[in-house]
């Protein structure tokens, strides 16, 4: 930034001041620039003499304190909440407010007492659990150690997925516990489903509009204007990526169909880091659309509302609505329309376990077939959620594959209730796209799943099934960087002959040093089932030595069974080889998580 760069606008700074300001802001990210703009605007609003604005001045006396800073705390596993929090920060800073944006992992809970107004953006994971970065804060807030919070005002934006029984549980717990501790709810909690953009925008607008009252301070015009440095393609504007290849990587005798898919990002300007996911905007299976229309006997050109538009039923079911995985809202609505005692029974408070199993095993078509009801097309679509993009862990390093992104996709196709069922996005990618076709995608950043900054640090990767995807990216990246740290991969699947995903690549890495160690577990190659957690236990002593040497541990793949089993094995290993009690071993693992040396990307 120079006086010249400002064109014809006369700057109120002399050349020296301009140079100092330029040096001070050089290299800051757009969000940091926004923050600086809000900060300096806050100083100006507080009537600080211009002279005190210079970069080197000691400012605590004049700095905006808790009372005029918007504090935004987020707990986010896969980056959605972090994005919502960032956008709020940008919107508030652009209006001239000072903003403090932090992950809950970096915020001391006791500091809440010093805050005046805090917004929380938090998702729910596991089985109603907080995301990893919010775990310690959540534990503290819900404990008896949490302080009284009279004088604090707050607003909670909760992210979740209403096909989970514990919908938005963590956000709900934050909201009710803060009130219990005496804090004042400034805005009602917003509970968001997988499609959260519209509600996020509305909530961000509500918060910013009320900031002058909530912070009791006037916004000042930001001294630095909003910096337009956003990616050209994102959630709101997905990029049409061209399919370069789609290759089945499971063998002919495998009962799984896993694809290695390569897409071109050429011309998008998009880049990604190992650990990020690619979100895919897919269409629903046409066969399922036809089955639903036939089941109800609807005319496929019946006009129905799809958001702000009216479209024909076929298009709406193909492109607009979620028609595979049911949501809680759908189940409740359908139970009522079908006057189904068994569905209503399932929704009873004490049947959460059954409800969870029901969601895992039923698609919408199974429900409407088993519990018939006479409905209009509008009544049916009125119960459906908007079709959400699906995330896939990126299986390539951007450094090694400029302009390309690779995925490892397990195709969801199974028989149940006498019919064949398909997943929406996985079959779209596998079956309905040909080479040369385009698919709408955007990058989902995942700052909670990152390679160590230190290239000398050892890395242990536990990724059975498609969980191996990000580790292909990790190893490619580390090889490309010439990272000296050793890499150890644990892979598992059903059979060596037909399910060893990327076998040739792993063996090549092993030979060339990209992998220092490879341990595999094929569950169906012998009488006893062997899983990755069994291999971890077998290698417990060496694994513990790696941890002692500073290794970073990564787990990716199945959230329901594999990740908890692996975690239990890790605790056992730390207890046995570190000669600790189980509690101390669990605390050690928690500490590794806090230090970001134990990271999970599970689904």
Which residues of the chain form contacts with ligand FMN (CB under 6 A)?
76-81, 123-128, 131, 159-161, 164, 166-169, 194, 559, 602-603
For residues 170 and 324, which CB has a smaller minimum distance to ligand FAD in the complex? 324
Select the binding partner of residue 159 from ligand FMN, ligand FAD, none (C-beta < 5 to 8 A, by kind).
Answer: ligand FMN
For residues 168 and 306, which CB has a smaller minimum distance to ligand FMN in the complex? 168
Tell me how far the alpha carbon of residue 48 is from its chain's centroid.
Answer: 41
SS3 312: strand
User: In whole angstroms, how close is the CB of 417 to ligand FAD at the nearest point?
Assistant: 10
For residues 390 and 509, which CB has a smaller minimum distance to ligand FAD in the complex? 390
Say if residues 385 and 329 touch (Cβ distance below 8 Å): yes
Select the binding partner of residue 160 from ligand FAD, ligand FMN, none (C-beta < 5 to 8 A, by kind).
Answer: ligand FMN
Q: How large is the C-alpha radius of gyration of the chain? A: 26
Name the residue whose CB lies closest to ligand FAD. Answer: 423
CA distance 70 to 92: 8
Q: Which residue, among 299, 323, 598, 266, has the nearest Cα to 462 in the 3D structure?
A: 598
Mask of contacts with ligand FAD, 432-471, x by CB under 6 A? ----------------------------------x--x--
Q: Which residues of 149-178 are buried (b: 16+ CB within 10 A; e: fewer)?
A: beebbbbbbbbbbbbbbbbbbbbbbbbebb
Q: Is the Cα torsion angle 87, 237, 411, 526 positive or negative in sign?
A: negative
Q: Does 426 bind ligand FAD (CB under 6 A)?
A: yes
User: In whole angstroms, how close is the CB of 118 to ligand FMN at the nearest point?
Assistant: 17
- Distances in Å between the Cα of 110 and the Cα atoms of 51, 62, 67 are 35, 24, 17
User: In whole angstroms, how close is the CB of 448 to ligand FAD at the nearest point?
Assistant: 10
CA distance 396 to 406: 5
Select the binding partner of residue 426 from ligand FMN, ligand FAD, none (C-beta < 5 to 8 A, by kind).
Answer: ligand FAD
Q: Does 414 bind ligand FAD (CB under 6 A)?
A: yes
Binder among 124, 162, 169, 324 for ligand FAD (CB under 6 A): 324
For residues 159 and 323, which CB has a smaller minimum distance to ligand FMN in the complex? 159
User: In whole angstroms, how close is the CB of 304 to ligand FAD at the nearest point?
Assistant: 20
Site size toward ligand FAD, by CB under 6 A: 26
Binder among 249, 261, 335, 425 for ligand FAD (CB under 6 A): 425
Q: Which residues make beta-bridge pairs with 419?
A: 416
Q: Does 76 bind ligand FAD (CB under 6 A)?
A: no
Select the binding partner of residue 79 from ligand FMN, ligand FAD, none (C-beta < 5 to 8 A, by kind).
Answer: ligand FMN
Select the binding partner of residue 409 from ligand FAD, ligand FMN, none (C-beta < 5 to 8 A, by kind).
Answer: ligand FAD
Q: Does 603 bind ligand FAD (CB under 6 A)?
A: yes
For residues 180 and 357, which CB has a smaller minimum distance to ligand FAD in the complex? 357
For residues 279 and 304, which CB has a smaller minimum distance to ligand FMN in the complex? 279
User: In whole angstroms, how close is the CB of 38 to ligand FMN at the nearest point?
Assistant: 23
Neighbouring CB atoms inside 10 A of 588's CB total 18
Say if residues 195 and 202 touch (Cβ distance below 8 Å): no
CA distance 377 to 313: 7
Q: Does 89 bind ligand FAD (CB under 6 A)?
A: no
SS3 72: strand
- Distances in Å between the Cα of 529 and the Cα atoms of 494, 522, 537, 548 are 9, 8, 14, 30
E-strand stretches of 11-105? 69-75, 98-103
Say if residues 461 and 489 touch (Cβ distance below 8 Å): yes
Q: Does 71 bind ligand FAD (CB under 6 A)?
A: no
The DSSP line for 453-510 is SSTTS-EEEE--GGGGHHHHHHHHHHHHHT--S-EEEEEEES-HHHH-TTHHHHHHHH
Scanning 62-70, 227-235, 406-414, 433-441 for contacts with ligand FAD by CB under 6 A, the matching segment is: 406-414
For residues 41 and 384, which CB has a smaller minimum distance to ligand FMN in the complex? 384
Q: Which residue, among 561, 564, 535, 568, has the nearest Cα to 460 in the 3D structure?
A: 535
Binder among 40, 76, 78, 250 for ligand FAD (CB under 6 A): 78
Q: Which residues bind ligand FAD (CB under 6 A)?
A: 78, 163, 277, 324-325, 359-361, 363, 390-393, 408-410, 412, 414, 423-426, 466, 469, 601, 603
């Amino acid at each position: 930034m120079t006086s010249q760069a400002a064109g014809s606008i006369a700057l109120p700074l002399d050349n020296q001041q301009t140079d100092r300001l330029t040096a001070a802001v050089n290299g800051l990210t757009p969000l940091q620039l926004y923050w600086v703009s809000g900060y300096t605007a806050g100083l100006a609003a507080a009537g600080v003499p211009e002279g005190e604005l210079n970069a080197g001045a000691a400012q605590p006396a004049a700095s905006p304190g808790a009372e005029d800073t918007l504090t935004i705390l987020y707990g986010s596993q896969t980056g959605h909440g972090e994005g919502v929090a960032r956008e709020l920060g940008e919107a508030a800073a652009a209006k001239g407010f000072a903003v403090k944006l932090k992950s809950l992992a970096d915020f001391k809970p006791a500091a809440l007492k010093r805050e005046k107004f805090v917004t929380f953006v938090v998702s729910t994971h596991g089985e109603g659990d907080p995301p990893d970065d919010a775990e310690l804060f959540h534990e503290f807030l819900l404990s008896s150690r949490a302080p009284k919070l009279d004088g604090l005002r707050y607003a909670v934006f909760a992210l979740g997925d209403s096909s989970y029984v514990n919908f938005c549980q963590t956000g709900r717990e934050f909201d009710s516990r803060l009130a219990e501790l005496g804090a004042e709810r400034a805005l009602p909690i917003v509970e968001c489903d997988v499609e959260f953009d519209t509600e996020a925008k509305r909530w961000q607008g509500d918060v910013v509009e009320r900031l002058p009252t909530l912070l009791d301070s006037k916004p000042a015009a930001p001294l630095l204007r909003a910096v337009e440095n956003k990616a050209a393609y994102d959630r709101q504007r997905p990029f049409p990526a061209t399919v370069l290849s789609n290759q089945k990587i499971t063998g002919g005798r495998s009962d799984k169909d896993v694809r290695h898919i390569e897409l071109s990002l050429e011309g998008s300007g998009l880049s990604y880091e190992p650990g990020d996911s690619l979100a895919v905007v897919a269409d629903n299976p046409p066969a399922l659309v036809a089955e639903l229309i036939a089941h109800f006997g609807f005319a496929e050109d019946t006009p129905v509302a799809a958001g702000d538009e009216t479209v024909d039923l076929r298009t709406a079911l193909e492109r607009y609505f979620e028609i595979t995985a049911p949501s809680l809202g759908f189940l409740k609505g359908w139970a009522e329309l079908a006057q189904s005692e068994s569905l209503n029974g399932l929704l009873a408070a004490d049947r959460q376990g059954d409800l969870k199993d029901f969601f895992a095993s039923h698609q919408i078509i199974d429900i409407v077939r088993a519990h018939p009801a006479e409905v209009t097309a509008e009544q049916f679509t009125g119960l459906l959620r908007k079709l959400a993009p699906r995330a896939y862990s990126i299986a390539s390093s951007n450094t090694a594959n400029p302009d390309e992104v690779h995925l490892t996709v397990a195709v969801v196709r199974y028989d149940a209730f006498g019919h064949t069922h398909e997943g929406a996005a996985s079959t779209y990618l596998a079956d309905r796209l040909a080479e040369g076709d385009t698919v709408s995608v955007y990058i989902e950043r995942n700052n909670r799943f990152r390679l160590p900054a230190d290239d000398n640090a050892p890395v242990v990767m536990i990724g059975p099934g498609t969980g191996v995807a990000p580790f292909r990216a990790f190893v490619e990246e580390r090889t490309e960087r010439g990272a000296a740290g050793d890499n150890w991969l644990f892979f598992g699947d059903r059979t060596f002959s037909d399910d060893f995903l990327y076998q040739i690549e792993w063996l090549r890495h092993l030979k060339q040093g990209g992998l220092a160690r490879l341990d595999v577990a094929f569950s169906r190659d012998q009488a006893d089932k062997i899983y990755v957690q069994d291999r971890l236990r077998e290698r417990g002593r060496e694994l513990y030595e790696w941890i002692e040497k500073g290794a970073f541990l990564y787990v990716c793949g199945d959230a329901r069974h594999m990740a908890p089993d692996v975690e239990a094995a890790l605790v056992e290993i730390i207890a046995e080889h570190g000669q600790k009690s189980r509690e101390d071993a669990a605390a050690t693992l928690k500490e590794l998580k806090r230090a970001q040396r134990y990271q999970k990307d599970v689904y």
